[in-house]
Structure 1
Amino acid sequence: MNVLPRRIWLCADDYGMAPGINRAIRTLIAHGRLNATSVMTAAPHLGHEADELTKLNAGATRALIGLHVTLTAPFKPLSNHFAPLRHHAFPPLAELIRLAMTRRLKREHFTAEIAAQLAAFRAAFGRAPDFVDGHQHAHLLPVVRDAFLAVIGAQAPHAWVRQCARAPRARPLHDRKGLVLDVLSVRFRARAKRFGIRTNPAFAGAYAFTPKADFPAIFPRFLTGLPDGGLIMCHPGFVDPALKSLDSLTDLREREFAYFDSDAFPRDLARHHVELARPAGETGPAA
């Protein structure tokens, strides 16, 4: 009996962070190896490269384009009077987590900032994003999630948002990062449902970003148990001076690019009875 393939979304994060990332993502979209990317409007290298990304969807949609809400250092707010600031930029992730968990953040600051980043996306692309997610998963945090969902529900009601819980069959207990994301996503999904906002049914793509990480061996694990409509995040890119100045995730981006642009990637998809969803005529997960 023929088994229908599961259709998934493979989303490259961080478009706009650096020219090398932008070029790698556009190349993979053009080669049919990605069907979604999320854009950082608070990053310094979007500008005219928003137009280059839009051109790839001329005629037929090759990739969904989302907003990658950015709330951590070294990036700077787009809104006035954002707090807390550290050296005129957002706080580091560890500090943001601590402040969120102790409820020491003011929701109105995040409401204004997320609205500003959404407005910047509209200015760059002439429309609302297809979906919205968060850099370093900061959108899942207490206080932040309420501001995030309120803004998206009111200003981009047709967009879906990323929840980061793994499929039930893909939850190894030794993966502490995955377990944290599973827990944070429980309340996030419940709040999104209350706002009438769609979410992806399952998530994959988190792994330890260490120099020894073997991405071609890691990626097939993300396909295990991932349901139809599931989402895998990824971070392909080419290393350049701009990237080195902004992010610690460098060489692994080139390994991810090499894998996705290789013959091994479609073979792994076929072996797991998975294919990339076709963005044309689709808005994304219906969960």
Structure 2
Amino acid sequence: MKIIFNADDFGITDAVSASIVELFKAGTPLKSATVMINLLSDSSAELLKEFLRGDDGGGVSIGLHFNLTCSKPVSPAAEIPSIVGPDLNFLKFGELIGRACDKKIDVSHVVREFEAQMNAFYARLGFWPSHIDSHKHVHMLPDFFHAVAGSLEKFETKRIRLTENISAEELFTSQGIAKDKIMKCFAGNIYNKNGIYSYGSNTALAYPDLFFGTYSVGSLSAEVFEKEISGLENFGCVGEYMTHPGACDGNLAGLSSLLAPRESEFRALKDPLLAETLKKLNIEAVSYKALDDRKKSAVK
């Protein structure tokens, strides 16, 4: 088995960005990160580019953390009114989900903002994202997923985070969204196999075979990792483990409710015990490049 430890939220603050680059430089199992391009500072951008220019830069993948819920959009707010509030910031998570479930989001606004973030990523960093995921999993809403997947036909990026071993609505119920509300989005709108809502059979994009971290956000440790993948470690597949390492400061507190757990996950990724656990289980830590733009999952 191969595992992608991906650090979400690069760019949310300079302190978080610096922590992620430190983990890359230290040779930890972290080999991938996704960037919140609407929040990326010039200093965080330069820090990342400097690392990527170095000898170890080719071993990591850097993707786009598509964001529709935190701070200001890349697009002019007047061009995407259904996904911003009166303060010209993105809608809060709960309000966005509510509007999406009630079909009150103009999906063309999602497309416009996604493409704006893609183009901003290239303009700021000089390359296209290796893969796509999203802040609070918003790309996994059916209408939003189809918008993103359709837009990616215009770009070089052909890899995406999916959660084929977890029914897609669980990504939202695990964040406190009522099941009866979120099921208004999912029921009848995406493929249901054995009770699992899934996109894998309907996309040509490459994606990890398994996804971990939904129910352990902020609590990664060698022990938690081993328990979560128990029984799956011998599959010849590529899995992804979502992480949120970082350092807390006053800036972060104004943007995220996930604070001290970021420092805990930073320590867990740097702890030699995690690398030792991977070796014991014969699991290789890789980047999103290991997917090799595969279309079909090895595990059904």
**TM bracket, shorter-chain basis:** 0.7 to 0.9
1:223 pairs with 2:223: no
Q: Deviations over 1:53-106 (max 9, x none)?
A: 122233451210000000013x21111221232232111111222222222211
2:38 is aligned to 42
1:270 Cα offset (Å): 2.1
1:22 is aligned to 17
2:207 is aligned to 199
1:208 Cα offset (Å): 5.3
SS in 2 for 1:161: coil
8 Å CA contact retained: 1:153, 1:197: no
Letter in structure 1 aligned against 2:245: P
1:272 Cα offset (Å): 2.4
Under a length normalisation based on structure 1, what TM-score does the superposition of the two structures give? 0.83
Distance 1:137 1:48, change over 3 A: same
Alignment of 1:82-101 (within 5 A): 82=80, 83-86=82-85, 87-101=87-101
1:118 is aligned to 118
Distance 1:285 1:231, change over 3 A: farther
8 Å CA contact retained: 2:158, 2:293: no
SS in 2 for 1:56: helix
1:127 Cα offset (Å): 1.4
1:121 Cα offset (Å): 0.4
1:165 Cα offset (Å): 3.1
In 1: Cα distance, 2:121 partner to 2:62 partner? 10
Distance 1:239 1:198, change over 3 A: same
Distance 1:102 1:22, change over 3 A: same
The root-mean-square deviation of aligned C-alpha atoms, in Å, is: 2.7
1:108 is aligned to 108
8 Å CA contact retained: 1:103, 1:143: no
1:229 Cα offset (Å): 1.3
2:200 is aligned to 189
Distance 1:278 1:112, change over 3 A: closer
2:63 is aligned to 66
8 Å CA contact retained: 2:222, 2:277: no
1:166 pairs with 2:165: yes
Number of residue pairs matched by the alignment: 266
Letter in structure 2 aligned against 1:18: T
2:193 is aligned to none
1:217 Cα offset (Å): 3.7
Letter in structure 1 aligned against 2:249: D
Distance 1:278 1:165, change over 3 A: closer
1:147 is aligned to 147
1:234 is aligned to 243
1:145 Cα offset (Å): 1.2
1:265 corresponds to which of 274, 297, 300: 274
8 Å CA contact retained: 1:19, 1:240: no
8 Å CA contact retained: 1:72, 1:90: yes
SS in 1 for 2:284: strand
- Could you list the runs of 5+ residues in structure 1 that have no partner in the other structure? 1-5
Distance 1:167 1:93, change over 3 A: closer
